[in-house]
Amino acid sequence: MRLTAFIMAGVLLSGAAAAEEVSKPESSLKANFRRVGLELSSTNVANAAQYQDSPVSQLSADGQTVTKGVFDFVAEYSHGNMRWNNGVLLEYGKIRLEPYDEPSESNETADKILAYTEYAHRLFNIYSADFGPMLNAEYQTEFTANDGAERMRVYRGKAGMTIFDGTIVKDLYFAGVVEYDITYPEHVNKFALEAGWRLEYKPADNLLFTTDGYYRRYLSYSQYVPEDFRYDFSANARMDASLNSKLSLGPFLSYRRAHSRQADAAGSNFTIGIAFSYKNVFDLL
């Protein structure tokens, strides 16, 4: 019943948009490589065994290499007062540790495959940005399963209201979310509320600040799975200094925090580093 009401709400919102739409006749189709990035850091330590009692920790540290790749692509189509985006986001990262007295080991630091389609309809303009209803459908999985865990597989749908395509506000939305989680043998239907954003600020021609993220609060589950989240929060921020029209270099930070139903406390991850990125937009229409 809740799912039916959720879908009907999305249909009614779209109908309201059609009744109040403002003329915006231009059409466009773009292939937007938002970011193809590489994040890399390396620490090499020589003769660490002889400096374990040294007060200088850099001489006794474990060698490590951290790498992460990001591919963020969107096919953007707009016609009149509608925007239809179809995209894919891929992330994969690893850290390799090389202790002086133990075999080297590696662990995943990021693993995400997200394919989605998203529709937004413009009702009116707010401070150079558009406002209206949005619908979204997506599938999230990962390249490999985490040690001791199942491989994530989640179908997700969203319906809500959004501010989009502004000078600074590229997306700012609030939506209801339904999930069909088939990660575990016990498939779970979930309902949540979610707020998310994607902002860009360009103070100079060769400098760009970006941030994106979401907060998702789960309200109901069809059954109890200990690993399911009560809430999930993710935030990213980056400064890109242009090397040329397509390549950039700059610092980034990312923060992830979530609280599972079985845990007494939330888990979190904070990362800061330097990233090399490629961006380009191709006009197809």
Q: What is the pLDDT along the chain (285 residues), one digit of tens a residue?
A: 444 444 444 444 444 444 344 455 589 999 999 999 998 877 677 777 776 766 556 666 677 888 999 999 999 999 999 999 999 999 999 888 878 777 888 888 889 999 999 999 999 998 889 999 999 999 999 999 887 788 999 999 999 999 999 999 999 999 999 999 999 988 999 999 999 999 999 999 999 999 999 999 999 999 999 989 999 999 999 999 999 999 999 999 999 999 999 999 999 988 888 999 999 999 998
71 is a domain residue: no
Q: Report if residue 50 sits inside a domain.
A: no
The CB-side HSE value for 74 (13 A sphere, CA atoms) comes to 14
pLDDT score recorded for residue 281:
95
Rounded Cα distance between 274 and 61, Å, is 21
60 domain-assigned: no
Cα distances from 59 to residues 55, 56, 63, 65, 152, in angstroms, run 9, 6, 10, 16, 39
User: How many C-beta neighbours within 10 Å does residue 46 have?
Assistant: 9
Domain count, the chain: 1
47: left (phi over 0), alpha (psi -120 to 50) or beta: left
First to last CA, the chain: 42
Does residue 128 belong to any structural domain of this protein? yes
User: Which phi and psi angles does 18 have, rounded to 5°?
Assistant: -60, -35
- Per-residue confidence (pLDDT) for residue 58, from 0 to 100: 64
**Within a 13 Å sphere around the CA of 222, how many CA atoms are in the beta-carbon half?**
13
pLDDT value of residue 48 = 73
Q: Give CA–CA dist 63/44, Å, rounded.
A: 5
Inside any domain, residue 260: yes
User: For position 132, what pLDDT does the model report?
Assistant: 97
| pLDDT on residue 39 | 86
Helix, strand, coil percentages, rounded to 5, for the chain: 10, 65, 25
Q: Which residues, listed in sequence order, are joined to residue 36 by a DSSP beta bridge?
A: 71, 278
Residue 52's pLDDT is what? 74
Pairing of strands 169-181, 188-204: antiparallel
Question: Does residue 178 lie within any of the structural domains?
Answer: yes
The greatest distance separating any two alpha carbons of the chain, rounded to the nearest whole angstrom, comes to 76
**Could you tell me if 244 and 275 are in contact, meaning their C-beta atoms sit under 8 angstroms apart?**
no
Query: The domain containing residue 15 runs over which residues?
Result: 2-24+109-283
Residue 208 domain flag: yes
Give the H/E segment covering residue 74. Answer: strand 63-79
> Is 48 among the domain residues?
no
